[in-house]
Structure 1
Amino acid sequence: MSDPILRLSGITKAYNAGKPREVQVLQGIDLSLDAGEVVALVAPSGAGKSTLLHIAGLLDTPDGGTVQITGEDMTGQSDRRRTRMRRADVGFIYQFHHLLPEFSALENIVLPQLANGVGRGEADARARDLLDKVGISARADHRPAALSGGEQQRVAFCRALANAPKLLLADEPTGNLDPATSDQVFGALLDLVRATGLSALIATHNLELAGRMDRQIRLEAGRLVPL
Protein backbone atom coordinates (compact mmCIF):
# COMPACT_ATOMS: atom_id res chain seq x y z
CA MET A 1 0.00 0.00 0.00
CA SER A 2 1.42 3.40 -0.97
CA ASP A 3 1.98 6.20 1.52
CA PRO A 4 -0.72 8.88 1.85
CA ILE A 5 -0.06 12.02 -0.18
CA LEU A 6 -0.41 14.04 3.04
CA ARG A 7 -0.02 12.83 6.61
CA LEU A 8 -0.26 15.15 9.61
CA SER A 9 0.58 13.58 12.97
CA GLY A 10 0.11 15.26 16.34
CA ILE A 11 0.18 18.80 14.94
CA THR A 12 0.05 21.53 17.57
CA LYS A 13 0.25 25.28 17.11
CA ALA A 14 -0.09 28.18 19.54
CA TYR A 15 0.27 31.91 19.12
CA ASN A 16 2.12 33.93 21.75
CA ALA A 17 3.52 30.59 22.90
CA GLY A 18 4.61 30.59 26.54
CA LYS A 19 3.02 33.98 27.27
CA PRO A 20 0.06 34.65 29.59
CA ARG A 21 -2.25 35.27 26.61
CA GLU A 22 -1.19 32.16 24.67
CA VAL A 23 -3.82 30.98 22.21
CA GLN A 24 -3.77 27.26 21.41
CA VAL A 25 -5.02 27.00 17.82
CA LEU A 26 -4.30 23.38 16.90
CA GLN A 27 -4.24 20.61 19.49
CA GLY A 28 -2.94 17.28 18.26
CA ILE A 29 -4.19 17.24 14.65
CA ASP A 30 -4.00 13.86 12.88
CA LEU A 31 -5.00 13.72 9.22
CA SER A 32 -4.19 11.59 6.17
CA LEU A 33 -5.14 12.16 2.52
CA ASP A 34 -4.86 9.29 0.10
CA ALA A 35 -4.01 9.67 -3.57
CA GLY A 36 -6.98 11.10 -5.47
CA GLU A 37 -9.00 11.84 -2.32
CA VAL A 38 -10.87 15.14 -2.03
CA VAL A 39 -11.59 16.16 1.58
CA ALA A 40 -13.67 19.08 2.86
CA LEU A 41 -12.38 20.98 5.89
CA VAL A 42 -15.27 22.78 7.53
CA ALA A 43 -14.66 25.40 10.20
CA PRO A 44 -15.97 28.82 11.21
CA SER A 45 -13.81 31.90 10.79
CA GLY A 46 -11.05 32.08 13.36
CA ALA A 47 -11.01 28.36 14.07
CA GLY A 48 -7.53 27.89 12.63
CA LYS A 49 -8.25 26.34 9.23
CA SER A 50 -5.88 28.72 7.44
CA THR A 51 -3.16 27.90 9.97
CA LEU A 52 -3.73 24.19 9.39
CA LEU A 53 -3.55 24.61 5.60
CA HIS A 54 -0.37 26.69 5.87
CA ILE A 55 1.27 24.01 8.01
CA ALA A 56 0.13 21.26 5.63
CA GLY A 57 1.58 23.23 2.73
CA LEU A 58 4.89 24.02 4.44
CA LEU A 59 4.22 27.75 4.60
CA ASP A 60 4.26 27.60 8.41
CA THR A 61 5.81 25.26 10.93
CA PRO A 62 3.98 23.53 13.80
CA ASP A 63 5.08 23.74 17.41
CA GLY A 64 4.84 19.96 17.60
CA GLY A 65 4.06 17.00 15.37
CA THR A 66 5.15 15.97 11.89
CA VAL A 67 4.17 16.77 8.31
CA GLN A 68 4.75 14.17 5.61
CA ILE A 69 4.15 14.86 1.93
CA THR A 70 4.39 12.01 -0.60
CA GLY A 71 5.92 9.89 2.15
CA GLU A 72 8.73 12.33 2.98
CA ASP A 73 8.95 13.74 6.50
CA MET A 74 9.34 17.50 6.08
CA THR A 75 9.78 18.16 9.80
CA GLY A 76 12.95 20.13 10.40
CA GLN A 77 13.85 20.33 6.70
CA SER A 78 15.69 23.40 5.44
CA ASP A 79 13.79 26.32 3.91
CA ARG A 80 15.31 25.42 0.54
CA ARG A 81 14.06 21.83 0.70
CA ARG A 82 10.61 22.96 1.83
CA THR A 83 10.46 25.44 -1.04
CA ARG A 84 11.39 22.75 -3.55
CA MET A 85 8.68 20.48 -2.18
CA ARG A 86 6.07 23.25 -2.37
CA ARG A 87 7.06 24.16 -5.90
CA ALA A 88 6.99 20.57 -7.17
CA ASP A 89 4.18 18.87 -5.26
CA VAL A 90 1.86 21.42 -3.61
CA GLY A 91 -0.67 23.79 -5.17
CA PHE A 92 -2.48 26.58 -3.31
CA ILE A 93 -5.77 28.36 -3.97
CA TYR A 94 -6.98 31.24 -1.85
CA GLN A 95 -10.27 33.11 -1.51
CA PHE A 96 -8.83 35.95 -3.59
CA HIS A 97 -7.20 35.08 -6.89
CA HIS A 98 -3.94 37.08 -6.45
CA LEU A 99 -3.28 36.99 -10.21
CA LEU A 100 -0.53 39.23 -11.57
CA PRO A 101 -2.49 42.13 -13.14
CA GLU A 102 0.06 42.98 -15.85
CA PHE A 103 -0.01 39.48 -17.35
CA SER A 104 -2.70 37.63 -19.30
CA ALA A 105 -4.58 34.62 -17.97
CA LEU A 106 -2.32 32.37 -20.02
CA GLU A 107 0.85 34.08 -18.79
CA ASN A 108 -0.26 33.79 -15.16
CA ILE A 109 -0.31 30.00 -15.64
CA VAL A 110 2.87 29.86 -17.70
CA LEU A 111 5.06 31.84 -15.27
CA PRO A 112 5.14 29.32 -12.37
CA GLN A 113 6.08 26.63 -14.86
CA LEU A 114 8.96 28.69 -16.21
CA ALA A 115 10.14 29.23 -12.63
CA ASN A 116 10.13 25.46 -12.23
CA GLY A 117 12.35 24.94 -15.27
CA VAL A 118 9.69 24.01 -17.85
CA GLY A 119 10.29 25.17 -21.43
CA ARG A 120 8.07 27.92 -22.84
CA GLY A 121 6.38 25.75 -25.46
CA GLU A 122 5.48 23.01 -23.00
CA ALA A 123 4.33 25.57 -20.40
CA ASP A 124 2.14 27.33 -22.96
CA ALA A 125 0.53 24.05 -24.07
CA ARG A 126 -0.23 22.99 -20.48
CA ALA A 127 -1.68 26.41 -19.65
CA ARG A 128 -4.01 26.26 -22.65
CA ASP A 129 -5.07 22.72 -21.76
CA LEU A 130 -5.91 23.75 -18.18
CA LEU A 131 -7.88 26.79 -19.35
CA ASP A 132 -9.80 24.55 -21.71
CA LYS A 133 -10.61 22.13 -18.86
CA VAL A 134 -12.25 24.94 -16.86
CA GLY A 135 -14.08 26.30 -19.91
CA ILE A 136 -12.36 29.65 -20.45
CA SER A 137 -9.82 28.94 -23.19
CA ALA A 138 -11.28 31.85 -25.17
CA ARG A 139 -10.16 34.22 -22.39
CA ALA A 140 -6.50 33.15 -22.48
CA ASP A 141 -5.19 36.48 -23.72
CA HIS A 142 -7.24 38.66 -21.37
CA ARG A 143 -5.68 40.29 -18.33
CA PRO A 144 -7.33 39.73 -14.93
CA ALA A 145 -9.07 43.12 -14.94
CA ALA A 146 -10.96 42.09 -18.09
CA LEU A 147 -12.20 38.85 -16.50
CA SER A 148 -15.23 38.28 -14.29
CA GLY A 149 -14.73 37.17 -10.69
CA GLY A 150 -15.56 33.59 -11.59
CA GLU A 151 -13.16 33.64 -14.52
CA GLN A 152 -10.39 35.10 -12.37
CA GLN A 153 -10.80 32.30 -9.86
CA ARG A 154 -10.77 29.65 -12.59
CA VAL A 155 -7.46 31.05 -13.79
CA ALA A 156 -6.21 30.85 -10.19
CA PHE A 157 -7.22 27.17 -10.12
CA CYS A 158 -5.23 26.55 -13.30
CA ARG A 159 -2.21 28.39 -11.93
CA ALA A 160 -2.28 26.24 -8.77
CA LEU A 161 -2.20 23.12 -10.94
CA ALA A 162 0.33 24.47 -13.45
CA ASN A 163 3.24 22.38 -12.14
CA ALA A 164 1.15 19.21 -11.79
CA PRO A 165 1.24 19.01 -7.97
CA LYS A 166 0.21 15.89 -6.09
CA LEU A 167 -1.51 17.88 -3.32
CA LEU A 168 -3.91 20.81 -3.64
CA LEU A 169 -4.76 23.01 -0.64
CA ALA A 170 -7.62 25.48 -1.03
CA ASP A 171 -8.80 28.05 1.51
CA GLU A 172 -12.42 29.08 0.83
CA PRO A 173 -11.72 29.03 -2.93
CA THR A 174 -15.16 30.36 -3.89
CA GLY A 175 -15.87 32.39 -0.75
CA ASN A 176 -15.56 35.71 -2.59
CA LEU A 177 -18.20 34.86 -5.22
CA ASP A 178 -21.98 35.11 -5.26
CA PRO A 179 -23.83 31.82 -4.60
CA ALA A 180 -24.69 31.02 -8.22
CA THR A 181 -21.19 31.75 -9.49
CA SER A 182 -19.70 29.93 -6.51
CA ASP A 183 -21.60 26.76 -7.38
CA GLN A 184 -20.48 26.86 -11.03
CA VAL A 185 -16.86 27.68 -10.24
CA PHE A 186 -16.65 25.06 -7.51
CA GLY A 187 -17.96 22.50 -9.96
CA ALA A 188 -15.18 23.50 -12.35
CA LEU A 189 -12.63 23.06 -9.57
CA LEU A 190 -13.91 19.59 -8.66
CA ASP A 191 -13.92 18.55 -12.31
CA LEU A 192 -10.34 19.77 -12.66
CA VAL A 193 -9.23 17.95 -9.51
CA ARG A 194 -10.90 14.72 -10.62
CA ALA A 195 -9.44 15.00 -14.13
CA THR A 196 -5.91 15.40 -12.82
CA GLY A 197 -6.22 12.78 -10.06
CA LEU A 198 -4.56 14.81 -7.33
CA SER A 199 -5.44 14.86 -3.63
CA ALA A 200 -7.14 17.96 -2.27
CA LEU A 201 -7.93 19.47 1.12
CA ILE A 202 -10.50 22.20 0.57
CA ALA A 203 -11.62 24.52 3.37
CA THR A 204 -15.19 25.78 3.07
CA HIS A 205 -17.99 26.90 5.34
CA ASN A 206 -20.55 25.87 2.71
CA LEU A 207 -22.00 22.52 3.78
CA GLU A 208 -23.58 21.94 0.37
CA LEU A 209 -20.20 22.26 -1.34
CA ALA A 210 -18.59 20.11 1.36
CA GLY A 211 -21.12 17.38 0.66
CA ARG A 212 -19.84 17.08 -2.91
CA MET A 213 -16.44 15.88 -1.71
CA ASP A 214 -15.31 12.38 -0.72
CA ARG A 215 -15.11 13.06 2.99
CA GLN A 216 -15.92 15.90 5.37
CA ILE A 217 -14.10 16.83 8.58
CA ARG A 218 -14.64 19.69 10.98
CA LEU A 219 -12.07 21.71 12.89
CA GLU A 220 -13.50 22.24 16.34
CA ALA A 221 -11.69 23.52 19.46
CA GLY A 222 -8.36 22.85 17.79
CA ARG A 223 -9.14 19.22 16.87
CA LEU A 224 -10.55 17.45 13.82
CA VAL A 225 -13.84 15.59 14.13
CA PRO A 226 -15.97 13.83 11.47
CA LEU A 227 -18.74 16.02 10.10
Structure 2
Amino acid sequence: MNDVALRLTGVTKTYNAGSPAAVEVLRGVDVSLAKGEIVALVAPSGAGKSTLLHIAGLLDTPDDGTVEIAGTDLTGAPDRRRTLVRRDEVGFVYQFHHLLPEFSAQENIVLPQLAAGIARSDADARARELLEIVGIGTRAHHRPAALSGGEQQRVAFCRALANRPSVLLADEPTGNLDPATSDTVFDALMALVRETGLSALIATHNMDLAARMDRRIRLDQGKLTAL
Protein backbone atom coordinates (compact mmCIF):
# COMPACT_ATOMS: atom_id res chain seq x y z
CA MET A 1 0.00 0.00 0.00
CA ASN A 2 1.35 3.41 -0.91
CA ASP A 3 1.32 5.73 2.12
CA VAL A 4 2.47 8.79 0.17
CA ALA A 5 -0.35 11.01 -1.05
CA LEU A 6 1.83 13.51 -2.95
CA ARG A 7 5.45 13.37 -4.09
CA LEU A 8 7.47 15.88 -6.10
CA THR A 9 10.94 14.77 -7.15
CA GLY A 10 13.62 16.97 -8.72
CA VAL A 11 11.09 19.58 -9.83
CA THR A 12 12.51 22.59 -11.67
CA LYS A 13 10.79 25.59 -13.22
CA THR A 14 12.29 28.56 -15.07
CA TYR A 15 10.30 31.37 -16.63
CA ASN A 16 11.57 33.08 -19.80
CA ALA A 17 14.19 30.37 -20.15
CA GLY A 18 16.99 31.19 -22.56
CA SER A 19 16.49 34.94 -22.32
CA PRO A 20 18.28 37.60 -20.25
CA ALA A 21 15.08 37.90 -18.20
CA ALA A 22 15.10 34.21 -17.19
CA VAL A 23 13.92 33.57 -13.64
CA GLU A 24 14.80 30.22 -12.05
CA VAL A 25 11.89 29.71 -9.64
CA LEU A 26 12.29 26.08 -8.57
CA ARG A 27 15.68 24.40 -8.49
CA GLY A 28 15.30 20.67 -7.88
CA VAL A 29 12.47 20.61 -5.36
CA ASP A 30 11.83 17.34 -3.51
CA VAL A 31 8.84 17.02 -1.19
CA SER A 32 6.40 14.33 -0.15
CA LEU A 33 3.24 14.27 1.95
CA ALA A 34 2.23 11.17 3.86
CA LYS A 35 -1.43 10.27 3.97
CA GLY A 36 -3.15 12.32 6.64
CA GLU A 37 -0.22 14.71 7.07
CA ILE A 38 -0.61 18.50 7.22
CA VAL A 39 2.50 20.40 6.09
CA ALA A 40 3.11 24.15 6.27
CA LEU A 41 4.88 25.73 3.29
CA VAL A 42 6.57 28.94 4.40
CA ALA A 43 8.08 31.28 1.81
CA PRO A 44 8.84 34.96 1.33
CA SER A 45 6.83 36.83 -1.30
CA GLY A 46 7.96 35.98 -4.80
CA ALA A 47 9.77 32.81 -3.77
CA GLY A 48 7.64 30.60 -5.98
CA LYS A 49 5.20 28.99 -3.56
CA SER A 50 2.24 29.52 -5.90
CA THR A 51 4.24 27.95 -8.74
CA LEU A 52 5.07 24.99 -6.53
CA LEU A 53 1.42 24.54 -5.55
CA HIS A 54 0.25 24.82 -9.16
CA ILE A 55 2.73 22.15 -10.25
CA ALA A 56 1.74 19.91 -7.34
CA GLY A 57 -1.90 20.33 -8.32
CA LEU A 58 -1.32 19.67 -12.03
CA LEU A 59 -2.24 23.22 -13.04
CA ASP A 60 1.28 23.76 -14.37
CA THR A 61 4.05 21.46 -15.57
CA PRO A 62 7.67 21.37 -14.39
CA ASP A 63 10.59 21.81 -16.76
CA ASP A 64 12.09 18.70 -15.19
CA GLY A 65 11.20 16.29 -12.40
CA THR A 66 8.12 14.25 -11.57
CA VAL A 67 4.78 14.75 -9.84
CA GLU A 68 3.08 11.73 -8.26
CA ILE A 69 -0.36 11.67 -6.68
CA ALA A 70 -1.37 8.53 -4.79
CA GLY A 71 1.59 6.69 -6.29
CA THR A 72 0.84 7.54 -9.92
CA ASP A 73 3.31 9.61 -11.95
CA LEU A 74 1.22 12.24 -13.70
CA THR A 75 4.01 14.49 -14.98
CA GLY A 76 3.47 13.77 -18.66
CA ALA A 77 -0.16 12.70 -18.49
CA PRO A 78 -2.54 13.98 -21.20
CA ASP A 79 -4.60 17.07 -20.38
CA ARG A 80 -7.81 15.06 -20.00
CA ARG A 81 -6.20 12.72 -17.47
CA ARG A 82 -4.74 15.65 -15.51
CA THR A 83 -8.14 17.36 -15.45
CA LEU A 84 -9.86 14.27 -14.07
CA VAL A 85 -7.21 13.81 -11.38
CA ARG A 86 -7.56 17.47 -10.36
CA ARG A 87 -11.32 17.01 -10.11
CA ASP A 88 -11.21 13.78 -8.12
CA GLU A 89 -7.96 13.82 -6.14
CA VAL A 90 -6.94 17.45 -5.54
CA GLY A 91 -8.70 20.23 -3.66
CA PHE A 92 -7.61 23.87 -3.98
CA VAL A 93 -8.12 26.78 -1.59
CA TYR A 94 -6.89 30.29 -2.36
CA GLN A 95 -6.55 33.51 -0.39
CA PHE A 96 -9.83 34.74 -1.91
CA HIS A 97 -12.82 32.43 -1.80
CA HIS A 98 -13.96 32.73 -5.46
CA LEU A 99 -17.47 31.55 -4.61
CA LEU A 100 -20.18 31.86 -7.26
CA PRO A 101 -22.29 34.80 -6.04
CA GLU A 102 -25.59 33.67 -7.52
CA PHE A 103 -25.59 30.36 -5.63
CA SER A 104 -26.04 29.61 -1.94
CA ALA A 105 -23.27 28.23 0.27
CA GLN A 106 -24.69 24.74 -0.08
CA GLU A 107 -25.07 25.06 -3.85
CA ASN A 108 -21.45 26.20 -4.21
CA ILE A 109 -20.41 22.93 -2.56
CA VAL A 110 -22.89 20.84 -4.54
CA LEU A 111 -21.83 22.06 -7.99
CA PRO A 112 -18.38 20.36 -8.18
CA GLN A 113 -19.99 17.15 -7.02
CA LEU A 114 -22.58 17.28 -9.78
CA ALA A 115 -19.75 17.85 -12.27
CA ALA A 116 -18.20 14.62 -10.98
CA GLY A 117 -21.43 12.70 -11.58
CA ILE A 118 -22.64 12.52 -7.97
CA ALA A 119 -26.41 12.35 -7.46
CA ARG A 120 -27.99 15.59 -6.27
CA SER A 121 -29.34 14.08 -3.04
CA ASP A 122 -25.91 12.72 -2.12
CA ALA A 123 -24.25 16.01 -3.05
CA ASP A 124 -26.67 17.96 -0.85
CA ALA A 125 -26.02 15.60 2.07
CA ARG A 126 -22.25 15.93 1.64
CA ALA A 127 -22.50 19.74 1.51
CA ARG A 128 -24.56 19.87 4.69
CA GLU A 129 -22.13 17.51 6.45
CA LEU A 130 -19.12 19.67 5.57
CA LEU A 131 -20.83 22.91 6.57
CA GLU A 132 -21.67 21.39 9.96
CA ILE A 133 -18.04 20.36 10.49
CA VAL A 134 -16.85 23.95 9.97
CA GLY A 135 -19.62 25.34 12.18
CA ILE A 136 -21.84 27.14 9.67
CA GLY A 137 -24.55 24.60 8.97
CA THR A 138 -27.21 27.21 9.68
CA ARG A 139 -25.83 29.38 6.85
CA ALA A 140 -26.26 26.74 4.15
CA HIS A 141 -28.90 28.64 2.17
CA HIS A 142 -27.27 32.07 2.33
CA ARG A 143 -25.55 33.48 -0.73
CA PRO A 144 -21.92 34.63 -0.38
CA ALA A 145 -22.88 38.32 -0.11
CA ALA A 146 -24.84 37.52 3.06
CA LEU A 147 -21.87 35.75 4.67
CA SER A 148 -18.93 37.22 6.54
CA GLY A 149 -15.43 36.91 5.10
CA GLY A 150 -14.63 34.07 7.47
CA GLU A 151 -17.82 32.25 6.59
CA GLN A 152 -17.14 32.64 2.88
CA GLN A 153 -13.69 31.12 3.29
CA ARG A 154 -15.10 28.20 5.26
CA VAL A 155 -17.50 27.54 2.39
CA ALA A 156 -14.51 27.58 0.05
CA PHE A 157 -12.82 24.95 2.23
CA CYS A 158 -15.91 22.77 2.05
CA ARG A 159 -16.12 23.16 -1.71
CA ALA A 160 -12.47 22.12 -2.05
CA LEU A 161 -13.16 18.93 -0.10
CA ALA A 162 -16.56 18.16 -1.61
CA ASN A 163 -15.30 15.43 -3.95
CA ARG A 164 -13.26 13.72 -1.21
CA PRO A 165 -9.80 14.49 -2.64
CA SER A 166 -6.69 12.81 -1.32
CA VAL A 167 -4.67 16.06 -1.35
CA LEU A 168 -5.56 19.62 -0.35
CA LEU A 169 -3.41 22.50 -1.61
CA ALA A 170 -3.99 25.87 0.03
CA ASP A 171 -2.33 29.18 -0.90
CA GLU A 172 -2.50 31.64 2.01
CA PRO A 173 -6.04 30.48 2.88
CA THR A 174 -6.39 32.94 5.79
CA GLY A 175 -4.25 35.73 4.33
CA ASN A 176 -7.23 37.95 3.56
CA LEU A 177 -8.68 37.81 7.08
CA ASP A 178 -8.07 39.75 10.29
CA PRO A 179 -6.06 37.88 12.98
CA ALA A 180 -9.04 36.83 15.13
CA THR A 181 -11.05 35.60 12.15
CA SER A 182 -7.93 33.94 10.74
CA ASP A 183 -7.55 31.81 13.88
CA THR A 184 -11.22 30.78 13.82
CA VAL A 185 -11.14 29.91 10.14
CA PHE A 186 -7.87 28.02 10.47
CA ASP A 187 -9.37 25.96 13.32
CA ALA A 188 -12.22 25.08 10.94
CA LEU A 189 -9.77 24.09 8.21
CA MET A 190 -7.77 21.87 10.58
CA ALA A 191 -10.97 20.21 11.84
CA LEU A 192 -12.09 19.59 8.27
CA VAL A 193 -8.74 18.13 7.21
CA ARG A 194 -8.48 15.92 10.29
CA GLU A 195 -12.09 14.76 9.95
CA THR A 196 -11.63 13.75 6.32
CA GLY A 197 -8.13 12.28 6.78
CA LEU A 198 -6.59 13.78 3.66
CA SER A 199 -3.12 15.27 3.22
CA ALA A 200 -2.63 19.03 3.03
CA LEU A 201 0.12 21.38 1.88
CA ILE A 202 -0.74 24.83 3.20
CA ALA A 203 1.24 27.92 2.23
CA THR A 204 1.21 30.61 4.91
CA HIS A 205 3.17 33.62 6.16
CA ASN A 206 1.72 33.13 9.63
CA MET A 207 4.30 31.28 11.72
CA ASP A 208 1.82 30.77 14.56
CA LEU A 209 -0.46 28.87 12.20
CA ALA A 210 2.49 27.02 10.67
CA ALA A 211 3.54 25.83 14.13
CA ARG A 212 0.21 24.05 14.55
CA MET A 213 0.77 21.80 11.54
CA ASP A 214 2.56 18.44 11.55
CA ARG A 215 5.65 19.69 9.75
CA ARG A 216 7.07 22.91 8.33
CA ILE A 217 9.14 23.42 5.17
CA ARG A 218 10.60 26.62 3.74
CA LEU A 219 10.96 27.55 0.08
CA ASP A 220 13.72 30.06 -0.57
CA GLN A 221 15.86 30.67 -3.66
CA GLY A 222 14.22 27.73 -5.39
CA LYS A 223 15.06 25.15 -2.74
CA LEU A 224 13.11 23.51 0.08
CA THR A 225 14.47 23.12 3.57
CA ALA A 226 12.93 21.83 6.81
CA LEU A 227 12.08 24.28 9.57
Normalised-by-shorter TM-score class: over 0.9
Determine helix, strand or coil for the equivalent of 2:163: coil
1:82-138, Cα deviation, whole Å (9 max, x unpaired): 000000100000000000000000000000000000000000000000000000000
Matched residue count:
227
Cα distance in structure 2, aligned partners of 1:174 and 1:190: 12
Tell me the residue number matched to 1:171. Answer: 171
3-state SS of the aligned residue for 2:153? helix
Aligned to 2:63: 63
For 1:185 and 1:218, the matched residues in 2 are separated by 23
Which position in structure 1 is the counterpart of 2:33?
33
Which AA in structure 2 matches 1:192?
L
2:24 is the counterpart of 1:8: no
Does residue 224 in structure 1 map to residue 224 in structure 2?
A: yes
Would you say 1:83 and 2:99 are equivalent positions?
Answer: no
Report whether the alignment pairs 1:161 with 2:161.
yes
The alpha carbon displacement at 1:140 in A equals 0.3
Q: Note if 1:143 corresponds to 2:139.
A: no
CA contact (8 A) 2:38 2:213 kept: yes
Aligned partner of 2:103 in structure 1 is 103
- The AA in structure 1 aligned to 2:189 is L
Question: What amino acid does structure 1 have at the position aligned with 2:133?
Answer: K
Tell me the TM-score normalized by structure 2: 0.99
Q: CA deviation at 1:193?
A: 0.2
What stretches of structure 2 of length at least 5 have no aligned partner?
none
Q: Secondary structure at the match of 1:5?
A: strand
Distance 1:75 1:174 in 2: 30
Q: Does 1:205 align with 2:209?
A: no
Counterpart code for 1:216: R
Deviation track 1:161-217 (CA, whole Å, cap 9, x = no partner) reads 000000000000000000000011001100110010000000001000000000000
CA shift at 1:3, angstroms?
4.2
Q: Do structure 1's residue 190 and structure 2's residue 190 form an aligned pair?
A: yes
- Identity rate, percent: 75
RMSD: 0.6
- CA–CA separation in structure 1 for the residues paired with 2:126 and 2:10: 38
Task: Detail structure 1 runs of 4+ shifted over 2 Å in the superposition.
Answer: none
| Alignment-derived partner of residue 113 in structure 2 | 113
Q: TM-score normalised to the size of structure 1?
A: 0.99
SS at match of 2:225: strand
- 3-state SS in 2 of match to 1:186: helix
Q: Find the residue that maps to 2:98 and give its secondary structure.
A: coil
